[in-house]
A and B are shown apart, each in its own frame.
Chain A
Amino acid sequence: MEKLLEVKDLAVSFQTFFGEVEAVRGISFHVDKKETVAIVGESGCGKSVTANSIMQLLPMPPAFYKHGQILFNGEDIVQKSEKEMQKIRGNQISMIFQDPMTSLNPTMKVGKQIVEGLIKHQNLSSQEAEKKAIEMLDLVSVPQPEKRIKQYPHEFSGGMRQRVMIALAMVSHPKLLIADEPTTALDVTVQAQILDLMKDIQDKFGTSIILITHDLGVVADMCDRVIVMYAGQLLEEGKVDEIFKNPKHPYTRKLLGSVPRLDMDRSETLYSIEGTPPDLYIPPKGCPFFDRCDQAMVVCKGHMPEREYHTDSHYSCCWLNHPMAKKAAEGSEI
């Protein structure tokens, strides 16, 4: 498989009044062509910062890249100037945001918002661009697109707005689509429609998708690979079946266990993860999940575990999976 995007040892921090917040702390992953990769994690784990740093959408300052590379088609995005980014953003990499209510401009007609990008990136005349805009709305199944492009966002329902956002993101056939919690603000029945639409669009254009979400059901539905993120670091990565069937990191296991399943007996108690994620002003030196993990060992506190590969595509960062850990399980101390 060809790699479309490769993130290497990326670290992003924010300079604030109280000191530096290390939001993303040295993460590496890649996205192949035509695949869907999910980044899952709790709020504040750095998943949106990762997405925004790929798009260079973070306000700098306070944000800054500490180190690392983001290679898109072999070129390093971190080094690009704003001018160069404008050619990539919306053209080769597009983004859909969580809240369709606030991410469209309320004072502009929907058609104009789509046309804007077409004129800018594809040098179309305004008539051609409008024709294309209607085509796009039709593609995302907005009924009566000719009429709809002359309306304002407030005249659309939440699901319809998210369709417009998808049309907007897909106008210039980007190679990579970053979807930051695209269905969190929507109802389940509408969510199902939007996820289906995203799958169709992906088949049609061969786009790669990075899906950022905390809903594990959506992940199971959409994705090829899953990356589990916690406190700015990656704890586990693998194919969707590997992660759901055979999670190796205690955090992943607990995360999966804390979602009630439809076939679950109601007298069972839900797994809950006690405590809260660590403060990233003073990031922990060792495993970030240390103080919430019930299998934590002495070694976890001071040293971040290395990646331990279980299959070619599945790794986890946990001392329990280290070859030496078997001894610990048998009772001897490390």
Chain B
Amino acid sequence: MVEPLISAKNIKKYFDVGQGKLKAVDGISFDIYPGETFGLVGESGCGKSTAGRTIIRLYEPTDGQLFYNGKNIYELPHNEMQEVRRNIQMIFQDPYASLNPRMTVEEIVAEPLEIHNIYRSHKERHNKVIELLKLVGLNEEHALRFPHEFSGGQRQRIGIARALALNPKFIVCDEPISALDVSIQAQVVNLLKELQEELGLTYLFIAHDLSMVRYISDRVGVMYLGHMMEIANSEELYDNPIHPYTKALLSAIPIPDPETQRNRHRIMLEGDVPSPIDPKEGCRFADRCPYAIPKCRETTPVLEEIRPDHFAACHRAKEFVK
């Protein structure tokens, strides 16, 4: 049995807002194994980005434990956390906003090396930067340019080079492709896959593009309003979804094939995602769920293993499987 690299236990992150407590992430638990890609999907406002940031402690968690290589990083003091941070990096959504426009590409990519004092001499550092740029498909002459001289896809490559600078083991990719064009998306996704194979990286891949998540992830978790609704292997999740929310979400993806699109049955959800401020007890999806029973509004369902390695948080999950 392989030990998980990342093991999240009941992570919570609440924000105090004027009207009450905004429960962005409300008790999610999952494991990520070395070398795999764990996809996290959900609609906007479901807490997937907050989850990603809380996991690497960019946000201080409200509650919960996060084990990295068996160590609970939420209890580590600042200096030890710094050590762990070397192994955990992040790629951000907006390649326009996440690169400092006043720094050259070399300065941007070298910054993590500088902070962690990896190289003594400038020469060595420079060589490392060039090596990183080559790794992500850029070249030496790009090092002296500024971010505005690059296209969206190239900027995202710079962001990836920066994340790789410290030879991390785990990278949180927070919607790394949603700001890019389709043809460029494929470039970046292929690059991420190649790097994973070459460097043995582990990814947490956060996205709302469900077909892309299926393509890149080994296992996928579906979030809704701060709760984890379902976790399974990606083929299993997309072929045999159990949770009514996952089913609705999957049936809403428009398929780029006119014939299939015309002939398939779609589950239309009524209404919008409710407010995450002081949510009611019970299943978060109950008000929009066509299968809701009174019990759903009374107690919050927990993730249960319905089929081997396929978890769902739904009171009626067992009925749906039969």
Contacts and interface: CB of A to CB of B under 8 A. Distances in A.
B313 to A, nearest CB: 18
A157 B272 CA distance: 8
Contacts of A220: 254-258, 261
A217 B254 contact: yes
Contacts of B272: 157, 159-160, 190
A274 interface: yes
B255 A262 contact: yes
A188 B269 CA distance: 11
B38 to A, nearest CB: 14
Given A266-B235, A270-B215, A274-B187, A189 B269 contact: yes
Given A42-B183, A189-B248, A260-B214, A269 B256 contact: no
Interface in B262-298: 266, 268-269, 272-273
Could you tell me the dominant secondary structure of chain B's interface residues? helix
Contacts of A43: 181
Interface stretch (A61-69, A91-99, A250-258): A250-258
Interface string A182-198: 00000111111101100
B206 to A, nearest CB: 14
A188 B249 CA distance: 7
Contact of A217 (B185, B234, B255): B255
Nearest to B151: A276
A273 B256 CA distance: 18
Nearest to B253: A188
Nearest to B194: A269
Interface in B144-176: 151, 153
B252 A266 contact: no
B253 A187 contact: no
B82 interface: no
A29 B5 CA distance: 55
B186 A273 contact: yes
A187 B43 contact: yes
A274 B235 CA distance: 29
B182 A259 contact: yes
Nearest to B215: A260
Nearest to A195: B254
A168 interface: no
B252 A221 contact: no
Contacts of B238: 262
Q: Interface size for chain B: under 10, 10 to 19, 20 to 34, or 35 or more residues?
A: 35 or more
Interface string B204-218: 000010111011000
Interface string A306-334: 00000000000000000000000000000
Contacts of A160: 272
Interface in A133-150: none
A187 B234 contact: no
A219 B256 contact: yes
B310 to A, nearest CB: 17
A88 B46 CA distance: 42
Interface in B39-72: 43-44
Interface string A150-161: 000000011110
A262 B253 contact: yes
B190 interface: yes
B306 to A, nearest CB: 22
B151 to A, nearest CB: 5
Contacts of A262: 211, 214, 238, 253, 255
A221 B261 contact: yes
A187 B273 CA distance: 10
A81 B190 CA distance: 50
A143 to B, nearest CB: 8
A187 B225 CA distance: 14
A313 to B, nearest CB: 14
Contacts of B182: 42, 214, 216, 255, 258-259
Contact of B254 (A193, A218, A264, A272): A218
B189 interface: yes
Given A262-B211, A271-B186, A193 B268 contact: yes
A240 interface: yes
B208 A187 contact: yes
Given A42-B181, A254-B183, A187 B255 contact: no
A260 to B, nearest CB: 4
Among A43, A189, A217, A272, chain B packs the most CB atoms within 10 A around the CB of: A189
Contact of A276 (B43, B153, B189, B249): B153
Contact of B234 (A218, A244, A266): A266
Contacts of A192: 251-252, 254, 266, 268
B259 interface: yes
A75 interface: no
A215 B178 CA distance: 12
A71 B252 CA distance: 37
A20 interface: no
A261 interface: yes
Contacts of A259: 182, 211, 256
Interface in A169-223: 187-193, 195-196, 214-221
Nearest to B250: A262
Given A187-B43, A189-B252, A220-B254, A272 B190 contact: yes
Contacts of A76: none
A274 B187 CA distance: 7
A269 B192 CA distance: 12
Contact of B214 (A241, A266, A271): A266
25 contacts: A42-B181, A43-B181, A157-B272, A158-B44, A159-B272, A188-B43, A188-B208, A191-B252, A192-B266, A220-B255, A220-B257, A220-B258, A221-B254, A241-B258, A254-B183, A258-B183, A259-B211, A262-B214, A262-B238, A262-B255, A270-B186, A272-B183, A272-B189, A273-B187, A276-B151
Interface of B: 43-44, 151, 153, 181-187, 189-190, 193, 208, 210-212, 214-215, 234-235, 238, 248-249, 251-259, 261, 266, 268-269, 272-273
- In order of increasing CB-CB distance, the 4 nearest A-B pairs are A217-B254, A260-B215, A272-B186, A273-B183
